Amino acid sequence: MTQAIKKAVLPVAGLGTRFLPATKANPKEMLPIVDKPLVQYAVEEAVAAGITELIFVTGRNKWSIPDHFDKAYELEAELSKHNKAKLLDLVQNILPPEVSCIYIRQAEPLGLGHAVLCAKPVVGVQPFAVLLADDLIAGRERGCLTQMVDLYNRYNCGVLAVEPVPKKETSRYGIVEIQTIEPRVGKIHSIVEKPAPEVAPSNLGVVGRYILPPDIMVILENTRQGAGGEIQLTDAIAKLLTKRTVLSLEFEGKRYDCGSKLGYLQATVEYALEHPELRQDFERYLHGLMAERLSPAQRKAG
Ligand code: UTP
């Protein structure tokens, strides 16, 4: 029988060097997109997919994440004193009551594979999800993880979210070679971490959502440091493929690589354009800005 996916690991212990100095004293996953930190979007996606246990793997500067999901007595008392019911509701209901949070420390940032391995004592013997909050995914009708859980429930095996990436960018992703078994779904034959475009087996890049069987933990324990001196999740998945079926899912939705400055800015602009309080004013502002920025010649040509 298929075991329900109830646990999700959220590794939030990376150094976030591409965002320094903003990430000097704060985890990258706490950077806001408009008015919510990245990690909250990932948590909302996980909860919508039926997750009830969130396992955060934290590093240095770890406090702001537990604080964000915890009760904030003073703030709540102040908001209630000033009758700010809407804001009070916003801070009190970040997590539904049935969802619990567990925090595990990754003592050293030894890579994503190592961060996932740190969650082993809590994950136990059930399949589980992994979400990287710096990949922000706006699902179309259903969130990305919900689409993956549906696929897992049908096939009872691991699932990796993938998307076509420009050929010249394969060296930024884990790339999979698949055999298509239904629209958007493939059986993964091989996976390689960050291959150069000329040797990449396809243009399907793995993004930050995984459903993995618990045996990945044993494999991770025996995985040596790979590219960049880190324990790579991709290397462990490559070994998993020799004994288990893992599927790829080209999810429906749009992913923003918020680990990069450009992706982060794109997400900020597009989420602001959808934000009920902001969208009209922000759209007007953008139009004005573009008109101001276009040279008179461009304006004439346009
Ligand atoms: P990245 O590869 O984006 O690394 O991690 P990073 O350190 O966060 O950022 P840069 O490249 O230095 O700017 C992908 C995900 O894995 C987590 C990160 O927090 C992020 O969610 N991670 C990475 C860990 O939790 N521990 C690690 O040792 C490495």
Q: Given ligand 1 and candidates 112, 225, 230, 233, which is best to mutate, with the most ligand atoms within 8 Å of its CB?
A: 112
Burial of 10 (0-12, 13-18, 19+ CB in 10 A): buried
3-state secondary structure 157-197: CEEEEEEECCHHHHHHCEEEEEEEEECCEEEEEEEEECCCH
Q: Say if ligand 1 is within 6 A of residue 111 CB.
A: yes
Residue 111 alpha carbon to ligand 1 centre in Å: 7
Residue located nearest, by CA, to atom 10 of ligand 1: 16
- Concatenated DSSP letters of 111-141: -HHHHHHHTHHHHTTS-EEEE-TTEEEEESS
Instruction: Locate the DSSP E strands across the chain.
Output: 7-12, 32-33, 36-37, 53-58, 100-105, 128-131, 135-139, 158-164, 174-182, 185-193, 204-212, 246-250, 253-257
Q: Say if ligand 1 is within 6 A of residue 112 CB.
A: yes
Residue 231 alpha carbon to ligand 1 centre in Å: 12
Question: How many other CB atoms are there within 10 angstroms of residue 216's CB atom?
Answer: 27
Q: Given ligand 1 and candidates 20, 28, 171, which is best to mutate, with the most ligand atoms within 8 Å of its CB?
A: 28
Residue located nearest, by CA, to atom 5 of ligand 1: 14
User: Dihedral sign, CA of 69, 131, 153, 213?
Assistant: negative
**Tens digit of pLDDT per residue, the chain (302 long)?**
789 999 999 999 999 999 999 999 999 999 999 999 999 999 999 999 999 999 999 987 778 999 999 888 888 888 888 888 888 888 887 888 899 999 999 999 999 999 999 999 999 999 999 999 999 999 888 999 999 999 999 999 999 999 999 999 999 999 999 999 999 999 999 999 999 999 999 999 999 999 999 999 999 999 988 777 889 999 999 999 999 999 999 999 999 999 999 999 999 999 999 999 999 999 999 999 998 887 766 666 66
Judged by DSSP in three states, 58 sits in: strand
Phi, psi of 22 (to 5 degrees): -60, -30
Rounded to an integer, what distance in angstroms lies between the CA atom of residue 92 and that of residue 70?
A: 9
Ligand 1, residue 57: give the atom nearest the CA. 25
Rounded to an integer, what distance in angstroms lies between the CA atom of residue 85 and that of residue 83?
A: 5
Rounded to an integer, what distance in angstroms lies between the CA atom of residue 121 and that of residue 294?
A: 57
At position 78, the amino acid (one-letter code) is E
Residue 282 alpha carbon to ligand 1 centre in Å: 31
For the chain, domain boundaries: 7-259, 263-302
Q: Which of 250, 251, 241 is nearest to 216 (CA)?
A: 241
Residue 14 alpha carbon to ligand 1 centre in Å: 3
Q: Say if ligand 1 is within 6 A of residue 109 CB.
A: yes
Residue 158 alpha carbon to ligand 1 centre in Å: 22
Q: Say if ligand 1 is within 6 A of residue 280 CB.
A: no
Reported pTM: 0.94
CATH ID of 7-259, from 2.60.40.10, 3.30.930.10, 3.90.550.10, 3.40.640.10:
3.90.550.10
Residue 134 alpha carbon to ligand 1 centre in Å: 9
Residue located nearest, by CA, to atom 23 of ligand 1: 14
